[in-house]
Chain A
Amino acid sequence: MTDFAGLLKSLASAEVEFILIGGAAAIAHGSSRMTEDVDVVYRRSGENVVNLVQALAGKNPYLRGAPPGLPFSWDEETIQRGLNFTLTTDSGAIDLFAEIPGGGTYDDLLPHCVELSLFGVVCLCIDAPTLIRVKRAAGRPKDLEAIAEIESLLAEEDD
């Protein structure tokens, strides 16, 4: 089971600059669809990478789906050499993106966020219209179903 609270608290308490996207963001907006992981876009500044390393260091992050025993170190150098990481941790699965199709980087997404207060922390979450745009850009069949639900949620809020 994914410990959403634990992951969000770790990121926020280490002062990581991140934006919640994906299925978890859809839940925040009222979705009833299940998701197994936390997807975030992180700011790719030197200081933020340091904070990101610190936030997850105690949770044994490892490449999800990779065979055990691969030489993988969770450190600043690893993050600087890559962009996006799909990780498994002691608190569940987390995907870290430096940039996403249809949304861009952390700074591109910043004007399209809402602030969430939950589990004693404050974090940024992609707003519903931008989440739709990002899911449309991803273009997977499951995203079209998710878009239908988010658009229905927006219609409910308008009613």
Chain B
Amino acid sequence: MSKELRVDRMPRTSPDPVVEAYKKNIDRTLLRENLKLTVEERFLKHMELQRFADELRRAGCEARRKQRDQRGQQ
């Protein structure tokens, strides 16, 4: 008789120590602010953050390029 070896991914019912450790670092004040918004406002805020992140990336890229150019001139 053969035995079937199975690994099932069952939903965890007990707290996951890793998840619990991450929870200690979660800024609940940000979550409370988000919960005050409508779902649409949450997405609009996220898109605004994405725009900000894109602008930061662009500015960082430009700054690094300028730095390289300055080093090249020295």
- Residue numbers of A with Cβ under 8 A of B are 1-5, 24, 27-28, 30-32, 34-36, 101-102, 116-119, 133, 136-137, 139, 144-145, 147-149, 151-153, 156-157
Contact = CB atoms under 8 A, between A and B. Distances in A.
A57 to B, nearest CB: 23
Contacts, number: 85
Nearest to B40: A118
B46 A4 contact: yes
Contacts of A30: 31, 34-35, 37, 42
15 contacts: A1-B54, A5-B47, A27-B46, A30-B31, A34-B49, A116-B39, A136-B12, A136-B16, A139-B9, A145-B22, A147-B16, A147-B22, A149-B22, A152-B31, A153-B31
B11 interface: yes
Contacts of A144: 16, 18-19, 22
Interface of B: 9, 11-12, 16, 18-20, 22-23, 26-28, 30-32, 34-35, 37-40, 42-43, 46-47, 49-51, 53-54
A64 to B, nearest CB: 17
Contacts of B54: 1
A133 B11 CA distance: 6
A80 B31 CA distance: 40
A81 B40 CA distance: 35
Given A32-B31, A137-B9, 11 more contacts: A1-B51, A1-B54, A30-B31, A30-B37, A32-B30, A101-B9, A102-B9, A118-B39, A118-B43, A136-B12, A144-B16
A63 B10 CA distance: 32
